[in-house]
Structure 1
Amino acid sequence: MTHVVVIGAGQAGSSLVAKLRNGGFEGQITLIGEEPVPPYQRPPLSKKYLLGDMDLERLFLRPEAFYGDNDITMRLSEKVTAIDTSAKTVTADGETLSYDELVLTTGSAPRYLPAAIGGALDGVFVVRDLKDVDGMAPEFTEGKRVLIVGGGYIGLEAAAVAASRGLNVTLVEMADRILQRVAAPETSDYFRTLHQSHGVNIIEGVGLDHLTGDGHVTGAKLTDGSQMDLDFVIVGVGIMPGTALAEAAGIALDNGIRTDAQGRTSAPNVWAAGDCASFPYKDGRIRLESVPNAIDQAECVAENIMGAGKDYVAKPWFWSDQYDVKLQIAGLNTGYDTVVTRQGDQGSVSFWYYQGDTLLAVDAMNAPRDYMIGKRLIEGGKSPAPAAIADPETDMKALMRL
């Protein structure tokens, strides 16, 4: 009987084992995860769960009984320490398991502040898993002073929750502007204004020099020489793909675990999907850090384990919730040279990224119709004239008939 072992019990791992069973796979399935709970949603951790608006069971991607009911062996609180691709075995908590097919859905891990600048002090948190959020939740009381290091989406979402709870929030971003790595100045300006309207102090172009405190963080000094007193710190300075196991096993890396178009790694019978995997995309390679990609890529790999021989075709989309604003992103803006603004009703707006005459991506703020039409246009390879997008009189549905 074929045995599929999946390392990493997150969104990709859960999606993959479910797809195997739902697709008629009758072999043995083992899902190994380091955390003590079944696979769960991560996006609500820093929002509804942290605010107390969602309990633990509602986070679970599937009821815990799903795995037993579908004859999926779930090994929680176990750490895989080695993979032997020649012997086709993995070692978890000292026990050796044999596999016929192995899938790495090892996700990603947050970047931490170095201990030399205070990163190891108590009261310094990252936002990645249940343990992180449960640890910081008691700090979210009105009037406390929090420093958020990093002006990407994770940092901004944390700032929104903290400000909503009445904390005194300062966010520092060492780049010239928030969201500089991922969005146009127009989107940065929109979210800067949004956060400032909620009382968040945003400092751009200035980095963190070091944190201060004896055991527990009590303050920070910034690179411009300014200092501040603090109660706690949230660090959102990016993530790294979970490649350590693959690297130790001699599996090829390339900004993540390198796979072919169908999800195979350089090792026989070893696959990868989700945040940890880089794969062919257009004329290059990419690695996508998103829930939709984790689901779609994992399901494609599951089908290929069952013999589908199907290339994974990514359709990138993302979202972020901050205050009462839902940002929806379609496509990838890499290489854009023009941004077109489309104003909507009641403060909604969307920014459309072009490279020459080619539509690449859309950032839509409380503009779900613009997002859906933009997504369909991009996936269909259609590029409306920028002037048509900017014209509020344009019938957006008509653009689909181009």
Structure 2
Amino acid sequence: MGIELNPNCNNNEHQIIDSTQNSAPIVLGLQPAAMVDHVAKVDWSLLAQISGERGGSFPVAVEELNHIVCELNKHILASPDDSLPSKTIAGGSIANTIRGLAAGFGITTGMIGACGNDEQGSLFMSNMTSNKVNLSRLRLKNGSTAQCVCMVDESGNRTMRPCLSSAVKVQAEDLTRGDFKGSKWLMLRYAILNVEVINEAVRIAKEEGLLVSLDLASFEMVRKFRLPLLQLLESGNIDLCFANEDEAQELLRGEQDANPEAALDFLAKHCQWAVVTLGANGCIAKHGKKVVRVPAIGKTMAVDATGAGDLFACGFLYGLIKGLPLDECCKVGSCSGGSVIRSLGGEVTPANWQWMYKQMQSEGLLVPDLGKCHLL
């Protein structure tokens, strides 16, 4: 039982056989390149050395990634609560979301992507399978696994620099109808390097009857590569779209009204469900003619904002799958987004899942029926 390699694949690529889960997952996540996150709390002086704006996420070359990793130890901040000031875990926005859905909400999930046959690849697979994510659609290829440095400042804000150029990844021609058959949702994150494989995944997914969710990724990505994003949205194939306040502003840059409400209306013209998150001010969402504004739930000190949007999406999608009203989907998203910022990295700890379940219970929301989430 567990993870095996398919011996019938060629020398350069293997398909992973996950014998623990045989039926099609409800939710699939397309993350073309599996990724390992190096997360650390750092001082401002390191961020001053990094190209690009603070708070964003934009790809870097392997030389810059290695430089940042080497500098991390010189700038790590001590944690006042004695928790680890740094960690290395399976990462990537889509991985964070589908891991959360499986581990915290009991929704079956699977990942479409590729992983290198290196130390980072082994770490990625171990972490995801221990959280009950189906990896039978993950290809193991000769080469390197993608990495990302997540630098968290004293205020809990994160600046991310992923390195994808030298990593193995799934290509558009690798995708098959079998990857999608039987599932209900496909989750995507916008990235210019992945536009071709995203378009092919959307094409097959719609032919197989899946609903498609898209996250706008980062304000830098929207700013620099807005036209291909607009083409994707205007295709009519995106059913659910998530944007944070900064991404929403970039989406409508140059328009007279470039506020979150205007961005919500724009997204809702092309998607069944549109959501704009507003950080500590909660979120706004629209489905058809219904618009809701939901404040943040559960006061908590933000240790690290990494994964907040990913886990918000996780909770919101759980609500949709369970048939909850739009405002309750937002409330669950707020609870799950709040759970991950209480510790370092994009993976929710067992204690913070318990915190989330208590918040959901206090709001009268549908708590996942998992043995491990019995309230204390």
TM range (shorter): under 0.3
Structure with bigger strand share is: 1
Structure with bigger helix share is: 2
